A and B are shown apart, each in its own frame.
Chain A
Amino acid sequence: MKAYRSMVLVSNDPGSIQAGAQDVLTTLQQEIKAFGLEDEISVSTVSDVGRHDAVPMVVVYPEAVIYGPVTKQDVHYLVEEHLYKGRIASALQAPARELSGRIAWLQNRKGTLPAEQRIVLERAGLIDPDSLDDYLLHDGFVALGKALTEMTPADVIAELEKSGLRGRGGAGFPTGTKWKFVSRTNSPKKYVVCNADESEPGTFKDRLILEGDPFSIVEAMAIAAYAVGADEGIIYVRGEYTLAQERLKSAIQQARNYGLLGDHLFGTDFSFNMSVHAGAGAYICGEETALIESIEGKRGEPRARPPYPTTHGLWGKPTLVNNVETLANVPPILRHGAAWYRKFGTPSSPGTKVYTIMGNVNLTGLIEVPMGITLREVVSIYAKGMKPGSTFKLAQTGGSSGSIIPASLQDTPMDFDSFAKTGVSLGSGALLICDEETCVVDLAKVLLNFFRKESCGKCNPCRIGNQRAYEILTNISEGIGSLKDLDDLNMLSEYLYQLSNCGLGQTAGTPLRDTLQYFRAEVEAHIRLKVCPAGVCPMSGKKH
């Protein structure tokens, strides 16, 4: 195994790429070679660094010095000073500033942000995601080794059940129970599928796990396969996530070369192979049965359930489908034990949750915090408050199908059960924070536009209902709505839930329901007074 004395990461989020990160990376590699340092220093990229004011950024470990913005011309100087001579090139250092997200955490590893706790993102941004060596140096494959050599499949499931881990895809189903369902089926062929079709707008947590720590998912899937008795795994990755696909393919290949995938892992009878399957742009494929259909080369239309994938999944065989974040929790739980895991979060929702923060706040980005933190805490601590001059109006949690939360519910702890009590869904962990300039009719229109396009079209309530709701909202936004429209919207939202075939249709009415519950006066103003209080809607009086 090759050991480097130093590691350099170049940011490659969209903002960085736009600012020339690719040139910086290439030049950096050339310069390091020119100085003859290629055997001492590894170079890699890091995705979303959580701040966008000084991109592209170059981070040098182990000192964790952040440079930025770095231009192509700066690279020679940077390499000469820091990597060759060993002095910090202070002229290029990023402006000192309070940072959010990953870099904030990196700089405050001793923990000045009290509630942050990285479990699933423990390595993301810290290791070279393309290096199995690096992963192994950071406790990689320890959990798999432990599972295979010290635990029976039943032990693994028992540990998971003890940990209380619940699915992070949105529904919060107990993960250990799901594994038990699959393990109990009597079939010579079973599959483990990782749902990496993260298409919920506002959610990009899985992408960061896949791009930053792909081996953790490979390891977790192998553990899952061992526990449920599967020998084949498929990661279904959203089509747009090309970097994640490449990282995973590379990770699988490296693991195979090391004998960490394939036959007789760790000298046991357990064999496991896996592959990456890319989607092609369909939100609905995040629904597990639609995802399975898509892997089989069909339209991503959800199947009727029952039967459930745990008994009749991919190619009709028992199939375990878990979300990326869920799986990423598995190796740490096995390494440290269920008791350790239960120290985080709340008794009914243990562990951490990764949130993506967007909207009209000072800092957008991503955090991993224990379950049970409140929305107010997220906005004030991590997002550094609302943007100057704006006040909190509402937040949408969990992406397009998530709940609309008014200011009055800001102090509800964000965990599965507390949210469920108030009728709110935690969903995928997306937090969209909106200020007073957001019009609820306009927002609902945008959301329903999403659903009418992303519905698969198979069942009537979802295919027709979302279209009708979108048209009604459009009318209201044009100032030609009627009060009957509100009854129709309520009816649509209720029946979408009651009658739809899958989770997409069932939850599509959620934001509609919440809007009418918490912001009815504002919607009525559009109808009765022909006024959009936020000044957003066209109110043209014309049919669209």
Chain B
Amino acid sequence: MTTVTIDGKQIEVPEGTTVLRAAQMAGISIPTLCDHPELTPYGGCRLCLVEVEGARTMQPSCTLPVSPNMVVHTDTQKVRDARKFVLTLIFSERNHFCMYCQVSGGDCELQNAAYREGMTHWPLQPNWQPFAVDASHPYFVLDNNRCILCRRCVRACSELVGNHTLGFEERGARSFLVADLGVPMGESTCVACGTCLQVCPTGALIDRQSAYRGKETQVETTASVCAGCSVGCAMNVLTRDNHLVRIESNWEGPVNGGLLCEIGRFAQQMEEHERISTPLVRKNGSLKAATWQEALDVIASRVRPLSGANGVAALASTRLPVEALSAFKQIFADGLESDMVTSLEEGASTAAAFKLANEMGRPFEGKLGDLANADLVLVFDADVTKLHEVASFFFKRNLQAGTNLVVVDRNENELDRLGIPVKALRGSQAEMLEALTAAKSGQPLDIHEVKTGVPAGKLALVGELLRDAQNPVIVYGNVDGADLKSLLALAGTAKVLGVKGAANSFAGALLGLEKPFQLNGHQAVFVALGDDEPSQRLVKKLTGAPFLAVQASYASQLTAQADVVLPVQNWAEQDGHYVNLDGHIQAAHKAITVPEDVRSNAAALEDLAACLGITISGNWREQLCQRVSAAALEG
């Protein structure tokens, strides 16, 4: 610990703490622009300059580590004058006429700092050159006229996301923010994660959808969890007058640490289908509006007599909160004792892992956090770029620092160009795993080259990497039972992580909802679709079902052929919990209020249970613990 004095306050902070953080710990606020708590200190804007006794010049508090008995002044006239001068310079560099700017009036850190420092005018005459606004990107606008060259976006793109799209052109007065080789943002390698938007202190990078729709002070913020995939990113849903304005990441998120991907930040806001706002019951061949009681009665009357094995088949989307999945399971598996109660993904991404965990009697999978510390990541037939993209950020950002990446995938994988691609020309997954195992233990590889078509030299290289790595992680996708055992054997002490399907795949598996779906004389089908989209395959399978009831947020081919449709809330409208791919249980909160007729997925099922006379327990946590989990549960 080091003792320092800041503005007369003596405080003790850990060695290496910067003066800025030390001041913050002591409750002293120093204005900053280029600093961001999630990014490496940069020291470019100089707004945080302070006086340090004994120093020749003023010192940037964001990069200056404390030293024993340091005496710092953050609020002298000299410091205040210097801050004002720094702001004067920034305002003189480019077009900072605030009146037309999206972030003006509270959301602009530059403007806020200017108000705070009492700037009344621009002492230096601005002489800026106008730049063309880059509006080529589908989700955001880059306006270099508002850019203060603080490089938060560049650092975020590299240090957090590892995508390295943003960079700097030229130097000195000609310094300029660019994408890749100076191409328009919309044509760049940008993956549209939007992290740059969130860290930009000014209106240089703004979100198209939410522009001018509400400032920080005018919106409500609700903590939620992304339902886009099984990573389970914590996020904040910003609403105004009960309308969704935008989604921002939550820097405190235990799983994602403040990152989101395109799906999480942007895609979920797109409502492409017609909303179902009232219960529907088929009368004389067509769906007619009905009351909840009518609709539930129709379902109950058809389903109640079908108790037992081949009675009613039931399917639930794994986008549903745990509360709903649990009620669903209790109604159909426990109450009606049906033999066909499963999820829409039918256990595709979980069955093998849970079977193995149950055989082993313990969880065997690691945590997403392991990826951030890995010195070797082996991706085995897993997609971590189209889906689960945030997981890829955790290691992409470490590749330049020396983390090795091996991509074993028969198909094109977007990660190929970043690592060592291992493409099997022939043979099965089993043969590939055999080859890698042989490579790791240094056995002759000629036969494996023949079996897999992967050059022996490349196999040997991967084997060496696996042997030498201190913190290796294997990320696998679709691997079936026997092969998973081989994969685990190959891993040895390496951490193993399986990507799952939708947001609650893991919960679905824990509740046993992972059977392959098949109609076998079933007289009725119930689908808890929620805000999910039905696959063509499912629609086809259910065509001609004697009775079909669907609870859904949106109209689809499935609801069109249903006999009863129950209107339910989407991810943003209901409370609920999600269990992500590594066993983290997180809560999502209701951000938008809908009319009473649209009920939450859990409430709809609870109402159905009541109608059927089935008692269900709300203790879903207990139910999650009835099976050995593939990864230890947390939270």
Contacts and interface: CB of A to CB of B under 8 A. Distances in A.
Direct interface between A and B, CB < 8 A: yes
Interface of A: 282, 284, 299, 304, 306-307, 451-461, 463-468, 471, 488, 491, 495, 497-501, 506
A490 to B, nearest CB: 12
Nearest to B172: A455
A137 B42 CA distance: 51
Nearest to B18: A304
Nearest to B86: A460
A491 B89 CA distance: 11
B153 to A, nearest CB: 15
B41 interface: yes
Nearest to B62: A304
Interface stretch (B43-51, B449-457, B463-471): B43-51
Residue from the set A452, A457, A460, A467 with the largest chain B CB neighbour count within 10 Å: A460
B69 interface: no
Contact of A468 (B44, B89, B148, B171): B89
B173 A461 contact: no
A487 B238 CA distance: 47
A518 to B, nearest CB: 23
Interface residues of B, number: 32
Given A460-B45, A499-B58, 16 more contacts: A299-B171, A304-B60, A304-B64, A453-B171, A453-B172, A456-B171, A457-B174, A457-B175, A458-B42, A459-B46, A460-B149, A467-B173, A468-B127, A498-B58, A499-B85, A499-B86
29 contacts: A299-B168, A304-B41, A304-B42, A304-B60, A304-B63, A306-B65, A452-B173, A454-B171, A454-B172, A456-B172, A457-B172, A457-B173, A459-B44, A460-B44, A460-B45, A460-B86, A461-B46, A461-B86, A461-B89, A463-B172, A464-B89, A467-B93, A467-B173, A468-B127, A495-B82, A498-B82, A499-B49, A501-B43, A501-B44
A499 B90 contact: no
Contacts of A461: 46, 86, 89
B57 interface: yes
Contacts of A468: 89, 92, 124, 127
B171 A495 contact: no
Interface of A is mostly: helix
A495 B84 CA distance: 11
Nearest to B171: A457
A498 B85 CA distance: 11
B86 A453 contact: no
B93 A499 contact: no
A457 B124 contact: no
B63 A465 contact: no
Contacts of A284: 171
B271 interface: no
9 cross-chain pairs, A with B, having the tightest CB-CB distances, nearest first: A457-B175, A304-B63, A455-B172, A467-B173, A464-B89, A304-B43, A452-B173, A457-B171, A464-B93
Contacts of B170: 457
A181 to B, nearest CB: 15
B90 to A, nearest CB: 6
Nearest to A499: B46
Contacts of B127: 467-468, 471
Contacts of A488: 123-124
A455 B171 contact: yes
Contact of A464 (B64, B90, B123): B90
A500 B170 CA distance: 19
B90 A460 contact: yes
A41 B380 CA distance: 69
Interface string B82-124: 1001100110110000000000000000000000000000011
Interface of B: 41-46, 49, 57-58, 60, 63-65, 82, 85-86, 89-90, 92-93, 123-124, 127, 148-149, 168, 170-175
Contact of A306 (B46, B64, B175): B64
A315 to B, nearest CB: 12
B57 A453 contact: no
Contacts of A463: 93, 149, 172-173, 175
A304 B127 CA distance: 29
B144 to A, nearest CB: 14
A450 to B, nearest CB: 10
Contacts of B42: 304, 458
Given A460-B86, A464-B90, A495-B82, A452 B172 contact: yes
A306 B65 CA distance: 7
Contacts of A299: 168, 171
Nearest to A495: B85
B171 to A, nearest CB: 5
B264 to A, nearest CB: 32
A457 B41 contact: no
Contacts of B82: 495, 498-499
A456 B43 CA distance: 13
Contacts of A471: 127
A497 to B, nearest CB: 7
B80 to A, nearest CB: 13
A491 B175 contact: no
A466 B173 CA distance: 8
Contacts of B58: 498-499
A307 B82 CA distance: 24
A171 to B, nearest CB: 11
Nearest to B58: A498
B199 to A, nearest CB: 18
B57 A457 contact: no
B26 to A, nearest CB: 21
Nearest to B47: A460
A464 B171 contact: no
B402 to A, nearest CB: 12
Nearest to B83: A499
A219 B311 CA distance: 92
A513 B140 CA distance: 45
Contacts of B86: 460-461, 499
Contact of A460 (B89, B123, B174): B89
A500 B89 CA distance: 13
Residue from the set A454, A463, A471, A497 with the largest chain B CB neighbour count within 10 Å: A463
Contacts of B57: 497-500, 506
B175 A501 contact: no
Contacts of A452: 172-173
A401 B555 CA distance: 72
Given A463-B149, A468-B92, A458 B173 contact: no
Given A452-B172, A498-B57, A460 B46 contact: yes
Nearest to B41: A304
A231 B44 CA distance: 34
Nearest to A307: B65
Contact of A455 (B41, B43, B45, B173): B173
Contacts of A307: 65
A497 B45 CA distance: 15
A431 to B, nearest CB: 26
